[in-house]
Chain A
C-alpha cells in the first residue's frame, strides 16, 4: 500500500525485535471474541487515479453549469490562486496545534496576524485564533455573555441566521440559558418596539446579526445603547464580513461573532469554514478558544506562544470556558493570506463592487411586474424579494434555465411565503444578472 513505508522484510525484523511471533500477538490484549477475523466490507483499495475518478463522478452529480444567486450565510467571492498554493505548503497543512512554540513560529505568527486583522475589521480589542464557524461562534458568544453577566436569559433577533439560532438552542438547552426571540419590523431590522426595557432588563445579551439574514443592516450603535442601558451586552454576528470593507464596524458591540468564509474560503457544501470571536480586552479571560500572544525568549528575540490557556479544556477540564479543542486554524490562515492580498484598497473595492452589483440586480428585478423588495432597510449584497407566486415554483422553473434561484424564506419563516433571498457578489457578471432577470420575467409571464 502506497501510504505505508515498510517492506515485508522490515515488518518481520521489527516483529522479531519486539519478540512477537506474529502481528496478531500485538493485539493479544483485545479479548479473542472481539477480534475481527473477516476483512471489513469496505470499497477499495483504489489507486490514486480511481479515487480521482470517483470524486469527479460525484462532482458531475452536483450543480456544475448552474449560476447561483444563493447567499444566506455562505458567499461566493473572488479568491487568488496564491492563497491556495500557500496553504498547501506541508509546513502549514501537516503541522499540529502550535503547542511547541519553538518549531511552530510560522503558524503562531500567522495566528497573531489573523487576530490582528479580525480586530482591525471589527474595531474590537481582541480576537481569538478561530472557532468552528459562524453558528458556533455566535453560540459561544451567548455562553460567554452568560458567564460575564451571570444572567441566564438571552434575546436573539429572529433575523439572525435560522440555523445559527438552532445551534444556539441546542447548546443553550442544558446550560440553563433561556433563549427569547425578538421580532423584526417591516424594514427587516430588529423591532425596537418589541425590545422594551422589561424584556431587556435581566437579560445577559441581545444578539443580532448585521447584515442580518434578510441582508439588512442593523443599527448597531442604537441597539448597543439600548442593551447597555439595561445592563445587557450586545452580541453582533457577522455572516458576510466582506461588508466590513465599507460598512461601519460594530465597535459598540461587546462581543462580535464572525463567520469568515467570505474571506477566501470556498463554499464546499458547508465547511470547513472559520468562526471568530472578537471582544473587549476586559472580557478576554471569558473568551473561548485559543489565543496567540507575543513574547520573547531569554535573548529578547520576539516570538509568539499560545497563551491564557488556563481558560481552556486541556487545563481547566469541566471548568473551562468551552469544550473547543480542534479549531479551524488552516482556514484562519486562508483568511489571513486572502486579506493580506486584498489589502486595504482591495477589500474596500470588493465591498463597493458588491454594493453596486446588488443595487443593479435589485433595480433589474424590480422592473418585473409583481416583483418588489420585501424589506426597506439598508442592505449590502443581499436582499429579499416578494414574488407573485411561490418561490419553490419559480426555482423549479429557473432550474431549467440552469439558474439556482432565490433562497426560500418560507422554509424558516412561515409568514414569509412568496419571499426569497437574492445575493449578488462581485463574482456575478452583469450578463448573468440580466439573464436571471429575463428568465424570471418569462417565468412570471407564463400563467400557472
Chain B
C-alpha cells in the first residue's frame, strides 16, 4: 500500500504469512534485572548539600529504641544505573506515544506535552495545600476556571473537584444523593445498576450504604424501561447509568428514564466515563441527569501514567449543591477566591486538601487548547469508531447493531468456532504493533472486543488497525495456532497468572537472587525471544 512501509516490515516468523504485519518492526530491547540486583554497598545516585547546622546524634535525639539500623536490602546504585534501569524498563511498555491504544472505556488519547510543562511551573508545582488562600489565588482560580468549563460542557449547576478518581467521584455523588434524600426524610435502600456497568459502580454503592440491584438491558443493549418501571420502587434511591453505555450506544430513552425515576422521588446518576462521545454535542444536564462524575484522565487527556493518577469531579444539579464535599472554592464579592469549609449539610471530605490539583490543571490546559472546538474532538472520536466498525464488521460478529458513538463492541463468536477467543485476538494484536482493545467487557457481551480509538488516531493508523484485525480474523481460520499462542514478538510470553495468584510473590527478597531461575528474562541462557 505504502512502499515506505516495507522497510520496517516485521520479518515473517515461522508459520506466519509474510507482509501482514505492517505497523511493527523488529526492535532490540535490553535485558535488565531488578534494581535490587544491581545494588552494591557504597554506591549512591543522589548527593545532598552539606548540613549547615550542627549534626545531632539520633540516639540522643530520639532515644536508642526509636532509631533504626540501615534498611536491609535497600538499593545502593549510581545515577547512570538508575537512568539505564528505568529507561530499559520503559522500553518494555507500549504507550499512546507509540500508537493506537484502543482500550474501550479507557479513552486513551494523546496527552499534550504543554500540560506536563505547565504542571511543573514554579509557583504551581511548588504550592503547599495548607498555605493561606491569600497565597493561593492562582491555584484557586485554576480550580474555579476548570469548574466553570466543566459546568458548561455538562450543563450542570454546581461541582466538586475534590474526588481523585472516577470511583471516588461515584462515591461522592452517591453520598450526596443519600444526604439529599435523607434531608427529605428517607435515604431509601437500593441503587439500580444496569448489567453493562463498570465494576466500580456496584463497589461504590456499597460504601455509600446502599444495596445493589442489577437491572437487565433489553435485546438492543438499552435499559429496559418496563423493567425499570417495575424495579424503581419506593426504596430505590437512584439509577446509575453510563451514557453512552459501555456498548458505545446512546441511551435513546434517557429522558424518559429520568422521568420514571423523578416521578418516584429517585435520582439519576450518570457515570461520565464515556463523556468523550458527548463533549460539545449534548449536555447531560439537559437530558435529566441529577449528578454525574467525569474522568479527567479519560475525556480531558490527563495521562494515565500506567494506572493513575486521575481525577473524578462530580457535577450536580442545584438540589444537591448544599451537600458538596468540603471545602468548596468560592468567589468572594471583591473577586478574590476562598475555600469555604463551613457548610453544615456537606457530606464531608472524601480526600485531604483540594484533590489532585496537578491533574485538574492539566485538564484545564487541555480544554483551553480546544475551546468550543472540543466538539471537533468528539466528532473525530465518533468518526474513528464508526470507521473501524465499518472496516471490520464483516470479519467479526457485532451483537448490538445500534449506531456506535465513540466505541464499538464486537464478540468473538465467529472466531470461537476455530478455538480462538477475544483474549487470543487481543494478544495477537500486540504482534501487529497495537495495544489490545478491552477484552471480556462489558459483561453482557460474551467474549467482548471493546474498541475505542479516540480522536487522536489518524486515518492511516485506523487503516493499519483495520488491516491488522482483518488479518487476524483470517489467521483465526487458516492458522488458529499462531493466534492462540500469541504474542510472539514480546520479551515474555503469556505469563502464568494462576501460579502468580496461588503462591503470590509480591516483593523481592535478598535470598531471591540465589533462587532466580536461570532462564529468567535477565539471563541469556535461552536468548531473547525471536
Q: Which of A148-156, A298-306, A437-445 contacts B (4 or more CB under 8 A)?
A: A298-306
Within 8 A of A (CB), among B149-174: 149, 152-153, 164-168, 170-171
Question: In the complex the two chains form, is B47's CB within 8 Å of A346's CB?
Answer: yes
B43 proximity list for chain A (CB < 8 A): 343
Question: In the complex the two chains form, is B93's CB within 8 Å of A270's CB?
Answer: no
Q: How far, in angstroms, from A249 to B495 measured CA to CA in the complex?
A: 34
Question: In the complex the two chains form, is A326's CB within 8 Å of B108's CB?
Answer: no
Mask, B190-228, CB within 8 Å of A = 1, is 000000001110111111111010000000000000000
Question: In the complex the two chains form, is A102's CB within 8 Å of B354's CB?
Answer: no
Within 8 A of A (CB), among B13-51: 32, 34-36, 39, 42-49, 51
A15 proximity list for chain B (CB < 8 A): 383
B139 proximity list for chain A (CB < 8 A): 58, 62, 269
Mask, A45-59, CB within 8 Å of B = 1, is 110101110111111
Question: In the complex the two chains form, is B121's CB within 8 Å of A106's CB?
Answer: no
Q: Does B5 belong to the interface (CB within 8 Å)?
A: no
Q: How far, in angstroms, from A45 to B141 measured CA to CA in the complex?
A: 19
Chain A min CB distance to B352 (Å): 4
B312 proximity list for chain A (CB < 8 A): 326
Question: In the complex the two chains form, is B85's CB within 8 Å of A323's CB?
Answer: no
Question: In the complex the two chains form, is A293's CB within 8 Å of B501's CB?
Answer: yes
Question: In the complex the two chains form, is A82's CB within 8 Å of B68's CB?
Answer: no
Query: Which of A80, A113, A345 interacts with B36 by CB under 8 Å?
Result: A113
Query: Which of B53, B106, B347, B491 interacts with A96 by CB under 8 Å?
Result: B106
Q: Does B4 belong to the interface (CB within 8 Å)?
A: no
B95 proximity list for chain A (CB < 8 A): 90-95
A20 proximity list for chain B (CB < 8 A): 386
Q: Does A196 belong to the interface (CB within 8 Å)?
A: no
Q: Does A415 belong to the interface (CB within 8 Å)?
A: no
Query: Which of B32, B70, B152, B167 interacts with A325 by CB under 8 Å?
Result: B167
Question: In the complex the two chains form, is B55's CB within 8 Å of A305's CB?
Answer: no
Question: In the complex the two chains form, is A324's CB within 8 Å of B130's CB?
Answer: no
B52 proximity list for chain A (CB < 8 A): 429-430
Q: How far, in angstroms, from A284 to B507 measured CA to CA in the complex?
A: 13
Q: Does B457 belong to the interface (CB within 8 Å)?
A: yes
Chain B min CB distance to A10 (Å): 4
B308 proximity list for chain A (CB < 8 A): 97, 130, 272, 326-331
Question: In the complex the two chains form, is A58's CB within 8 Å of B497's CB?
Answer: no
Q: Does B82 belong to the interface (CB within 8 Å)?
A: yes
Mask, B354-377, CB within 8 Å of A = 1, is 111111010001011111111111
Question: In the complex the two chains form, is B208's CB within 8 Å of A174's CB?
Answer: yes
How many of chain A's residues touch chain B, expressed as a range? 35 or more
Q: Does A384 belong to the interface (CB within 8 Å)?
A: no
Q: Does A416 belong to the interface (CB within 8 Å)?
A: no
Question: In the complex the two chains form, is B371's CB within 8 Å of A43's CB?
Answer: yes
Mask, A160-191, CB within 8 Å of B = 1, is 01011011011101111000000000000000
Given contacts A86-B86, A297-B494, A318-B212, contact A62 B70 (CB under 8 A): no
Q: Which of B111-119, B261-269, B468-476 contacts A (4 or more CB under 8 A)?
A: B111-119
Q: Does B94 belong to the interface (CB within 8 Å)?
A: yes
Within 8 A of B (CB), among A69-121: 70, 72-74, 76, 78, 80, 82, 84, 86, 88-98, 100-107, 109-113, 115-117, 119-121
Chain B min CB distance to A92 (Å): 5
Question: In the complex the two chains form, is A29's CB within 8 Å of B403's CB?
Answer: yes
Question: In the complex the two chains form, is B131's CB within 8 Å of A56's CB?
Answer: no
Question: In the complex the two chains form, is B166's CB within 8 Å of A96's CB?
Answer: no
Question: In the complex the two chains form, is A294's CB within 8 Å of B310's CB?
Answer: no
Chain A min CB distance to B140 (Å): 9
Chain A min CB distance to B362 (Å): 10
Chain A min CB distance to B55 (Å): 5
Q: How far, in angstroms, from A287 to B135 measured CA to CA in the complex?
A: 39
Q: Which of B278-286, B313-321, B414-422 contacts A (4 or more CB under 8 A)?
A: B278-286
Chain B min CB distance to A141 (Å): 15
Chain B min CB distance to A328 (Å): 5
A448 proximity list for chain B (CB < 8 A): none
A84 proximity list for chain B (CB < 8 A): 120
Given contacts A3-B456, A247-B66, contact A89 B369 (CB under 8 A): no
Question: In the complex the two chains form, is B203's CB within 8 Å of A322's CB?
Answer: yes
Mask, B369-394, CB within 8 Å of A = 1, is 11111111101101110110111000
Q: Does A205 belong to the interface (CB within 8 Å)?
A: no
Mask, B120-131, CB within 8 Å of A = 1, is 111111111111
Q: How far, in angstroms, from A300 to B496 measured CA to CA in the complex?
A: 10
How many of chain B's residues touch chain A, expressed as a range? 35 or more
Q: Does B62 belong to the interface (CB within 8 Å)?
A: yes
Question: In the complex the two chains form, is A44's CB within 8 Å of B370's CB?
Answer: yes
Q: Does A30 belong to the interface (CB within 8 Å)?
A: yes
A270 proximity list for chain B (CB < 8 A): 129, 352-357
Question: In the complex the two chains form, is B86's CB within 8 Å of A318's CB?
Answer: no
Chain B min CB distance to A166 (Å): 4
Query: Which of A29, A80, A102, A267 interacts with B128 by CB under 8 Å?
Result: A267
Question: In the complex the two chains form, is A54's CB within 8 Å of B62's CB?
Answer: no
Residue of A nearest to B43 (CB): A343
Query: Which of A93, A112, A304, A343 interacts with B111 by CB under 8 Å?
Result: A93
Q: How far, in angstroms, from A30 to B166 measured CA to CA in the complex?
A: 24
Given contacts A45-B369, A318-B206, contact A40 B152 (CB under 8 A): yes
Question: In the complex the two chains form, is A305's CB within 8 Å of B130's CB?
Answer: no
Q: Does B305 belong to the interface (CB within 8 Å)?
A: yes
Q: How far, in angstroms, from A6 to B83 measured CA to CA in the complex?
A: 36
Question: In the complex the two chains form, is A59's CB within 8 Å of B124's CB?
Answer: yes
Mask, A366-384, CB within 8 Å of B = 1, is 0000000000001000000
Question: In the complex the two chains form, is A95's CB within 8 Å of B386's CB?
Answer: no
Question: In the complex the two chains form, is A323's CB within 8 Å of B116's CB?
Answer: no
Q: Does B6 belong to the interface (CB within 8 Å)?
A: no
Residue of B nearest to A210 (CB): B66
Q: Does A201 belong to the interface (CB within 8 Å)?
A: no
Question: In the complex the two chains form, is B67's CB within 8 Å of A248's CB?
Answer: yes
Question: In the complex the two chains form, is B45's CB within 8 Å of A343's CB?
Answer: yes
Question: In the complex the two chains form, is B305's CB within 8 Å of A5's CB?
Answer: no
Q: How far, in angstroms, from A303 to B529 measured CA to CA in the complex?
A: 13
Q: How far, in angstroms, from A10 to B505 measured CA to CA in the complex?
A: 50
A303 proximity list for chain B (CB < 8 A): 491-492, 495, 521
Q: Does A308 belong to the interface (CB within 8 Å)?
A: yes
Q: Does A266 belong to the interface (CB within 8 Å)?
A: yes
A4 proximity list for chain B (CB < 8 A): 376-377, 380, 455-456
A70 proximity list for chain B (CB < 8 A): 128, 130-131
Q: List 19 A-B contacts (CB under 8 A).
A: A6-B458, A6-B459, A11-B380, A39-B280, A42-B367, A55-B142, A58-B138, A59-B121, A60-B123, A63-B131, A93-B303, A266-B125, A270-B354, A303-B521, A341-B82, A343-B44, A346-B47, A355-B62, A426-B48
Q: Nearest 7 CB-CB pairs, A to B?
A: A44-B371, A59-B123, A174-B209, A330-B305, A270-B353, A90-B97, A329-B307
Having A267-B127, A347-B74, one finds 5 other A-B pairs with CB under 8 Å, namely: A42-B367, A82-B83, A268-B125, A301-B492, A348-B70
